[in-house]
Copies of this chain bind each other. A is one copy, B any other.
């Protein structure tokens, strides 16, 4: 039986939130990954990378797996009624409902995280709790069929875990080898716990700059 994984794409999303999981999941036997959106055609991610929407949300109302990426324009995301409504409805019949990064806020806006432990990008922990979730600073949080992943790059870890749920651990292990996922982060600053204060400050400045809301930060060393 084919498992259909639907990944919604939307304007100003974070591309890696979707493409990391895609690169893991399309390799699974008898799994179809489909990119859905409000309209067919090209959407532009946060800094314009054009990604193609292959089917409309209406055309894929009941996928087996819903995997929701995020972005930093979170106010727009949670106010996107067609997207949030689609996620809410798809969740009713899904086998797994998954988010990466601030995709968790869309799950929250759809009412899916009420009373659940969940994770998201470290910068949106409080927003997540506004939706009745309990933020847990973990890479992946699984609550029944709801799986939430941490920020951006966590989509790869999350998808490997999901791959094991769908097709068994050995297949997931083989995919980890095929994508040579043996990470060697050059620095020890990937989490809020590990990053020193000056790097956290610089990250805030860089984030503002990336959103067009501040000057280019000095490198500070």
Contacts and interface: CB of A to CB of B under 8 A. Distances in A.
Interface of A: 14-16, 19-20, 22-23, 26-27, 29-30, 33, 35, 42, 46-52, 54, 101, 121-122, 139-140, 150-154, 156-157, 160-161, 164, 167-187, 189-192, 194-195, 198-200, 202-203, 205-207, 209-210, 216-217, 219-221
Contact of A219 (B150, B167, B192): B167
A138 to B, nearest CB: 9
A195 B164 CA distance: 16
A23 to B, nearest CB: 4
Contacts of A181: 152-153, 183, 185, 190
Contacts of A203: 174-175, 177-178
A172 B206 CA distance: 10
A142 to B, nearest CB: 12
Nearest to A153: B181
Contact of A175 (B42, B154, B206): B206
A157 B179 CA distance: 13
Contacts of A51: 49-52
